Structure 1
Amino acid sequence: MSNRLSEVQARISTVHELESVVSAMRGIAAARSREARSRLDGIRACAGVIGAAIGDALMLDERNSAPSRSPSGSTNADGDGHGTHVVIVLCAEQGFVGTFNEHVIEAAARLRHPQRNDYFVIGDRGVVVAQEHGLTVGWSAPMVAHVDEVPALADRITGALYERLDGGRATRVTLLHAVPQIATAIEIVQNALLPFDFERFAVPKRQLAPLVTLPPARLLARLAEEYVFTQLCEAIMLSFAAENEARMRAMIAARTNVHDTLDQLIGDSRRLRQEEITAEIVELSAGSLAASTGSVKQKRPPK
């Protein structure tokens, strides 16, 4: 009995330690999600400045319309199904995120396109899930662990992406990522990065075009590449915030399970302690009764 009670008490101590770990992980995830959200305004402001510059550069186009060239300077495909469709999928690098990676990969697997899909999967755990779903992972990289790593990752993705574009191995690029949500559901958004849509940028109404030192086509290609970089930075930051919110929800569920386990163990401990006390009382009572009976037998007079 005492062995079982000591085992239960040891488990209670272990579960209390686990509760501390779960609470710490929840706090870290909340802080990282909040920090990621705070960086979004700066990224969007940068994208706005680049977008305004693209609008100014479009004034230099002789046709006063969007150029028919891709940001890399090569002519876009006509969209008849030739070439490769690159799908950038942002997943999680670390665990304890529930079904976060599964939702993102399933959304990528449902993406249908006449071109052959080549997947850029970000996040080692996402790569494993993608392979389980039979997706062709052409390129992968670890997901960021801190918000300060976002620009470096966006730069790596941009480099790998434009290497394929310049080599004629890709004609379309789509970005898939999760966005932070208050609700428990995970929302996945899809953005078309390339071919670059110049028509979404307003050309300013003024008489004089800006003075530039680069050919207009090259200038627009450079600006478009910078704009794609900011889009990747924003998507990575949103995905990182969504990942940590998924981790927060997982830790809340874990804490609930920990409390339920603690309640059960404390109940078992009380029951075992009560049984142990009862057994000791019964044993002492039996010993006293036996001693009293023996004493009475010794005092009985002879016949």
Structure 2
Amino acid sequence: MAERLSDVEDRIDSVRQLSSVISAMRGIAAVRSREANARLAGIREYAETIGTAIAQALALYRAGGAEPAADRGEAGRLLILGLCAEQGFVGAFNTHVLDEVQALATSFGADRTDLLMVGSRGVAAARERGLEPVDCMAMAGHADQLAALANRLGDRLFARLQAGRVSRVVIVSARPDEAHAAPYSVVRQTLIPFDFDRFPPANLARPPLIHLPAAVLLARLTDEYVFAELCEALTLSYASENDARMRAMIAARENVARKLDELTATSRRLRQEQITEELIELSGAVRD
């Protein structure tokens, strides 16, 4: 009986240590989510500034009698940028993103689709489904690494575009659900072809001073805007990943708490049984 009680007490200690680890992981995920969300305002303000400049450059470009390249529809190959989790304990996060990736690839045509994955856990999960990425990258480990990751991702994306390997680019990623109906939602965002119609016409009553041809200026501003979109998508995905991890840790902590209650009750019962046996042995010795 004493050995069984000691085993239960050892398990209680182990469960308490596990609870401490879970609490620490939850705290780290919460901090990382807040850090990512704190960067969104700056990213969006940057994108808005570039968007205003694009509207002006577009007006100058059109004033010269030219129009941006038209959307080629479904022609060419599609490149899907799938943003998944780098680390584990995120529940069904990768599953939801890959479900959307697979649905998009099927609708466009798997033989005309390439996949570029971000997030080591997502890459492994994609390969289990038979999806082999043409390229893969690790997701940022900290919020201050997201801009550098967006730069590297943009370099690889533009290299494939310039080589003529793809004509359409769509990001599939998670972002926090603003309605709070769910921890996050998975969305599609078209990067290429670039949608110039999103920018309202600029007033050229006082045209801006420029030092580059309008076509070159428009191309460079478009590249900057795509970079801002990559930054935002990566930041939202990173925040969603950590939100999912935080919720997974909350659920794990609740399960650990229930297990600890069960073990504590078992320990008390065994201790009481041990005391009862000792009292019985003691009373028998007194009678003898």
The bucket for the TM-score relative to the shorter chain is: over 0.9
Alignment partners' CA distance in 1, 2:26 and 2:87: 14
Judged with a 3 Å threshold, the aligned counterparts in structure 2 of structure 1 residues 65 and 186 are, in CA distance, closer, same or farther, namely farther
Kindly indicate whether the alpha-carbon contact (under 8 Å) linking 1:103 and 1:186 is maintained by their aligned counterparts in 2.
Answer: no
- Report deviation, 1:185: 4.9
Q: Which residue pairs with 2:114 in the alignment?
A: 118
* 2:154 equivalent in structure 1: 158
Between the aligned partners of 2:81 and 2:213, the Cα distance in structure 1 is: 31
Q: Which amino acid letter does the alignment assign opposite residue 112 of structure 2? A: R
1:33-72 aligned within 5 A: 33-62=33-62, 67-69=67-69
**Counterpart code for 2:96:** H
The answer on whether the counterparts of 1:59 and 1:209 sit within 8 Å (CA) in structure 2 is no
Residue 91 of structure 2, aligned match among 94, 98, 117: 98
| Structure 1 letter corresponding to 2:87 | Q
Query: What's the secondary structure of 1:61's corresponding residue?
Result: helix
Q: Distance in 2 between matches of 1:248 and 1:51?
A: 34
- The answer to whether the 8 A contact 1:91-1:121 is kept is yes
AA aligned to 2:50 is: I
Report the Cα distance in structure 2 between the residues aligned to 1:80 and 1:230, rounded to whole angstroms: 25
Offset, 1:153: 0.6
Q: Aligned partners of 2:43 and 2:95: how far apart in 1?
A: 28
* Rounded Cα–Cα distance in structure 1 between residues aligned with 2:93 and 2:113: 22
Between the aligned residues of both structures, percent identity stands at 49
Partner of 1:167: 163
Q: Deviations over 1:32-89 (max 9, x none)?
A: 11111111000000000100110110122245788333xxxxxx773343x2100001
Identify the residue that residue 79 of structure 1 maps to in structure 2. 73
1:294 matched to which residue of 2? none
- The match for 1:241 is 239
**Which of 251, 270, 279 is the matching residue for 2:249?**
251
Q: Which residue of 2 aligns with 1:137?
A: 133
The Cα of 1:203 is off from its aligned counterpart by 2.4
Measured in 2, the distance between the counterparts of 1:44 and 1:144 equals: 19
**Structure 1 residues 5 and 184: alpha-carbon distance in aligned structure 2, compared to 1, 3 A threshold:** farther
Instruction: State how far apart, in whole Å, the 1-side matches of 2:57 and 2:115 are.
Output: 32
1:146 is displaced (CA, Å) by 0.9
The residue aligned with 1:225 is: 223
| Contact 1:58/1:65 (8 A) holds in 2 | no
Unaligned runs of 5+ in 2: none
| Residues paired across the two proteins, number | 283
Q: Which residue of 2 aligns with 1:11?
A: 11
CA contact 1:150–1:233 (8 Å) conserved in 2? yes
Question: Quick one: which amino acid aligns to residue 78 of structure 2?
Answer: H
Between the aligned partners of 1:276 and 1:266, the Cα distance in structure 2 is: 15
Unmatched tracts of structure 1, length 5 or more:
70-75, 292-303
Map residues 183-202 of structure 1 onto 2, 5 A cutoff.
183-202=181-200
Q: For residues 172 and 210 of structure 2, what CA distance do their matches in structure 1 show?
A: 35
Q: Greater helix share, 1 or 2?
A: 2
Q: Does residue 142 of structure 2 align to residue 149 of structure 1?
A: no
RMSD: 1.7
| Conserved 8 A contact 2:59-2:204 | no
- Within 2, Cα distance between the matches of 1:51 and 1:243? 28
